Amino acid sequence: MRDASPQTVFLKDYTPPEYLIDQVELNFDLHEQRTQVRSILNLRRNPQSQERSAALTLLGEELQLVSIAIDGQPLEQSQYLLDGEALIVHEVPQDRPFQIVIENIINPQANTALEGLYLSSSMLCTQCEAQGFRKITWFLDRPDVMSRFKTTLTGDKSKYPVLLSNGNKVGQGELENNRHWVSWEDPFAKPCYLFALVAGQLECVADEFVTMSGRRIALEIFVEKHNVDKCAHAMQSLKNAMRWDEETYGLEYDLDLYMIVAVDHFNMGAMENKGLNVFNTKFVLARPDTATDSDYEHIEGVIGHEYFHNWSGNRVTCRDWFQLSLKEGFTVFRDQQFSGDRTSPAVKRIEDVNALRTRQFAEDAGPLAHPIRPEAYIEINNFYTLTVYEKGAEVVRMLHTLLGAAGFRKGCDLYFQRHDGQAVTCEDFVKALEDANGVELEQFRRWYSQAGTPVLTVGQQYDAESQQLHLTIQQSCPPTPNQPVKAPLHIPVKLGLLAADGSAATIHYNGSSQAEITLNVTEAEQTFSFAKLPQQPVVSLLRGFSAPVTLKMERSLDELAFLLRHDSDTFNRWEAGQQLAVQVIFKLIDAIELSRPLQLEPVIVDAYRSVLTDSGGDLSYQALLLALPEESYLSGQMAIIDVEAIHQAREFVKKTLAEQLHAEFKQLYVQHHLDESGIFDAGAVGRRRLKNACLSYLSKLENEDVYHIAEQQFYSARNMTDQMAALSAIVNSNHPAKARSLDSFYMQWRQEALVIDKWFTLQATSSMPNTFATVQALMKHPAFDMKTPNRVRSLIGAFSQANPLHFHAINGEGYRFLADQVLALNTLNPQIASRMVTGLAQWRRYDAARQGLMKQQLQRIVATEHLSKDVYEIASKSLA
């Protein structure tokens, strides 16, 4: 909690650590309310440090000190200073290594912040990234201090039969009073944020992986007994990830054991602790009847992500937390590549871009905008953002595009080889890519320091006489907090040209002829000319979304319909359909605001008809082509967001398409409504996606036939994808069996926490009337729990971040509700509390009345006493 005004930490103030800790020995005597920690630190002065004071400052929070000794000599109180954040020993040996032994006590049960050592259900577990280790014992809690850890855990044999930590098991034994101990040793030096321990009544699902060099690795997934039947997919995903990293990056696993533990209470998705990943159950557990196809994909993605961190994060780690994107942006890029290879690269790319444009672009355009390498923070946990992760991944992707797959790989090889065992910076990464390829990326580096989403404005001019096309590209970037003026960036823009018959027109540029090229946009304004074009081609620009920018280019509806039909680039083909829908929806929004009658442009009906009748093979892709742009994406395109008009216009399009293409939707639904539960190949997943996309349209018709279909599917479904899709159609319509279906679903799944999360989310995101009353009632439901982050996200998070229509109710009830919950969470779990503030951060984007109401709630939050640093930073910066 905050007493004085919170301190800001700056990147420019970085200095190397004064001391290093080469070896640590940790002993835990585990008890729920009173765990004793004995820590032996082997320290020495860091030769790289310029500081010359004799004192040693170790960081620690919420710890109770029992004793401290140096080289066997207990310290008197006058020899050290203790405050809420540090333990300062006034004098330590300067000329030789020395040993400090600290004994302290912690209370895991009282730890509702879920940082450090805490209790989740009946098991003990840890979360140390970013700065949680200091809640376990005093330490040099910073990533550039890397130590070899030996850990001994002692605990009750019945309560904690399984005792885990990083590395290899090196000893175990029995003790009196039904207690036992296990010792672990991690041979790799690591920063303390990668430390972990787990103790509990856990079942182990075991398997094996043989690496490319023939080493046998034991794979172990630990879960509570009732979840043993939901681990097979996670295990297969892990093996897939290990193989993929060998094949794609030449990277092999290094320990003999890889463990994953699934816990119910977790602030984020998962954590890459060396050899002992701790996961939110959401990203491990899956059975066909409990998890949707998307859940299956997310699990594989997150398992991959944490596994890939073993190299991009653990073997080569970050020098300081400003470099977070060095490991996160790179690792997200790697997990995106992996998921694309495992499923469909086209579909994966669209999903990632969609998430980036709806959510990260909003962050980049708002008061919390920051570069992927931030320059200052109050609370680092607030910087595990869409910008650091997702935009960070886009920056790595652009490097991949600029260097080509082979050049990128060469650069990565050099990076891992040059920096293995080190804590490094984003600069080191770029430098390795440059050196390996003999190129210079000076201007490109601005992506690391400049915030905001660049805008590319494109004009085209065709000259029939010279048979030339001239493309003029202007780049600009709106100001962001502390960055009023922006410099031009190096932006790779992939380009293709289409002839009138839809075929590719050859691009003659700078003496070469190709079907597709990447333009290097580097200046504020640049013109590119293409020769030998007897007819004016249709331009397909920013293919594959080759840069995280907003593209502005005049397009007619017919031109977009043409691209939707013919573009060979799967991303741009989808994008043409999206932009077609965007234009149509915005005309309707204008009509709504002027109280004019609504009419649907026939061109979109024709476009959708051709999408419905031409599968092209990848049915998941076809389902995406049918999805209208989300309300949150449309909001991003409006100067002043009109939530009601956006909702009304989009619903009108959806309903009218359903009416006019009723037969086509119904036919596709029937054709693909098969029982393929338990089958997860691309074909079955695609059929479910397409069928359920059709159901979602058909449900807008609100007729007996559709009510019947939805209810039928709901009760007969044997997989969660179909059951959820049916329930969603029921909940988001006036279906007469709504209450009965929701009750039946609850009764069916009341033992499965992750399914009950879906039940909460579905109700919280409904656009039907009375949703707010439902949300309030659900807050009092016996299954709701403020101490379980997944539950908080599924109700409060879902309502405030994924239900714009009701959250932004003009009477301000949604805003007041959210602020109440933020304040309640602030004392329980600051990280989760601060994530919930996001719903209010974009207040400047709304009309004056809503602005006032939102601002009022932010001010109320900031004025509250005992605000955590986490909430204070987000709320105060949102107001600034």
Question: Is residue 423 near ligand ARG by the rule CB under 6 A?
Answer: no
Nearer to ligand ARG, 197 or 271 (CB): 271
Would strands 550-553 and 455-463 be described as parallel, antiparallel, or unpaired?
Answer: parallel
Q: Please list every residue from 569 through 628 that binds ligand ARG, using CB under 6 A.
A: none
* Shortest reach from residue 275's CB to ligand ARG, in Å: 15
Question: Is residue 350 near ligand ARG by the rule CB under 6 A?
Answer: no
Q: Please state, in angstroms and as integers, the Cα–Cα distance from residue 383 to each residue in 250, 370, 640, following that order.
A: 31, 9, 27
* Shortest reach from residue 305's CB to Zn ion, in Å: 6
Dihedral of the CA atoms 718, 720, 724, 725 (nearest 10)?
Answer: -80
Nearer to Zn ion, 80 or 333 (CB): 333
Among 144, 224, 306, 351, binds ligand ARG (CB under 6 A): 306
Q: Choosing among ligand ARG, Zn ion, none, which partner's interface includes residue 381 (Cβ < 5 to 8 Å by kind)?
A: ligand ARG
Q: Choosing among ligand ARG, Zn ion, none, which partner's interface includes residue 119 (Cβ < 5 to 8 Å by kind)?
A: none
Alpha carbon distance 586, 386 (integer Å): 27
Q: Please state, in angstroms and as integers, the Cα–Cα distance from residue 477 to each residue in 372, 433, 453, 456, following that order.
A: 15, 26, 6, 9
* Shortest reach from residue 789's CB to Zn ion, in Å: 17
Q: Please list every residue from 511 through 530 that binds ligand ARG, using CB under 6 A.
A: none
Dihedral of the CA atoms 369, 370, 371, 374 (nearest 10)?
Answer: -170
Nearer to ligand ARG, 268 or 541 (CB): 268
Nearer to ligand ARG, 269 or 459 (CB): 269
Three-state secondary-structure class, residue 185: strand
Q: Please list every residue from 144 through 173 that binds ligand ARG, using CB under 6 A.
A: none
Q: Please list every residue from 381 through 410 that binds ligand ARG, using CB under 6 A.
A: 381, 384
Nearer to ligand ARG, 272 or 711 (CB): 272
Among candidates 380, 387, 293, which has minimal Cα distance to 343? Answer: 293
DSSP codes, 723-783: HHHHHHHHHTTT-TTHHHHHHHHHHHHTT-HHHHHHHHHHHHT--STTHHHHHHHHHTSTT
Q: Which of 18, 115, 220, 306 is catalytic?
A: 306
464 exposure class (CB count in 10 Å sphere: 0-12, 13-18, 19+): exposed
HSE, CB side, 13 Å, CA atoms: give it for residue 470.
11
What string marks each residue from 692 to 731 as x (binds ligand ARG by CB under 6 A) or -? Answer: ----------------------------------------
Nearer to ligand ARG, 129 or 141 (CB): 129
| Residue positions counted in the chain | 880
Q: Over the Cα atoms of the chain, what is R_g?
A: 28
HSE, CB side, 13 Å, CA atoms: give it for residue 164.
29
Nearer to ligand ARG, 126 or 550 (CB): 126
Q: Choosing among Zn ion, ligand ARG, none, which partner's interface includes residue 270 (Cβ < 5 to 8 Å by kind)?
A: ligand ARG
Three-state secondary-structure class, residue 200: strand
* Shortest reach from residue 202's CB to Zn ion, in Å: 24
Alpha carbon distance 431, 326 (integer Å): 12
Please enumerate in sequence order all residues whose Cβ is within 8 A of that of 691, keeping only pairs 6 or more positions apart, or say none: 668, 669, 672, 673
* Shortest reach from residue 473's CB to Zn ion, in Å: 34
* Shortest reach from residue 827's CB to ligand ARG, in Å: 18
Look up tokens 């823009």; give the residue: 493
Nearer to ligand ARG, 673 or 869 (CB): 869
Q: Could you give phi then psi for residue 3, rounded to 5 degrees? A: -105, -75
Q: Please list every residue from 261 through 280 that binds ligand ARG, using CB under 6 A.
A: 267-272
* Shortest reach from residue 263's CB to Zn ion, in Å: 17
484 exposure class (CB count in 10 Å sphere: 0-12, 13-18, 19+): exposed
* Shortest reach from residue 522's CB to ligand ARG, in Å: 32
Find the residue with minimal CB distance to ligand ARG: 384
Nearer to Zn ion, 331 or 765 (CB): 331
DSSP codes, 309-362: TTTBTTTBEESSGGGHHHHHHHHHHHHHHHHHHHS-HHHHHHHHHHHIIIIIHH
Among 63, 68, 89, 129, binds ligand ARG (CB under 6 A): 129
For residue 600, give both structure tokens.
């649907």
Q: Please list every residue from 322 through 341 that binds ligand ARG, using CB under 6 A.
A: 328
Nearer to ligand ARG, 268 or 521 (CB): 268
Please enumerate in sequence order all residues whose Cβ is within 8 A of that of 616, keeping only pairs 6 or more positions apart, or say none: 622
Nearer to ligand ARG, 496 or 789 (CB): 789
Say how many residues touch ligand ARG, by CB under 6 A.
Answer: 14
* Shortest reach from residue 322's CB to ligand ARG, in Å: 14
Amino acid letter for position 66: V
* Shortest reach from residue 691's CB to Zn ion, in Å: 34
* Shortest reach from residue 282's CB to ligand ARG, in Å: 13
Alpha carbon distance 117, 157 (integer Å): 19
Alpha carbon distance 828, 118 (integer Å): 13
For residue 378, give both structure tokens.
């109050």
* Shortest reach from residue 30's CB to ligand ARG, in Å: 22
Alpha carbon distance 77, 68 (integer Å): 10
* Shortest reach from residue 305's CB to ligand ARG, in Å: 6
Would strands 376-377 and 162-165 be described as parallel, antiparallel, or unpaired?
Answer: unpaired
Strand pairing partners for 614?
none
306 in active site: yes
Question: Is residue 130 near ligand ARG by the rule CB under 6 A?
Answer: yes
Q: Choosing among ligand ARG, Zn ion, none, which partner's interface includes residue 384 (Cβ < 5 to 8 Å by kind)?
A: ligand ARG
Nearer to ligand ARG, 130 or 623 (CB): 130
Would strands 504-505 and 491-498 be described as parallel, antiparallel, or unpaired?
Answer: antiparallel
Strand pairing partners for 104?
37, 65
- Evaluate whether 19 touches 46 at the Cβ level (below 8 Å): yes
> Given the rule CB under 5 A, which residues bind Zn ion?
328, 331
Beta strands, E only, 542-581: 550-553
Q: Choosing among ligand ARG, Zn ion, none, which partner's interface includes residue 387 (Cβ < 5 to 8 Å by kind)?
A: none
Alpha carbon distance 571, 345 (integer Å): 10
Three-state secondary structure of 664-720: HHHHHHHHHCCCCCCCCCHHHHHHHHHHHHHHHHHHHHCCHHHHHHHHHHHHHCCCH
Nearer to ligand ARG, 268 or 706 (CB): 268
Known catalytic residues? 306
Contact residues toward ligand ARG (CB under 6 A) are 129-130, 267-272, 305-306, 328, 381, 384, 831
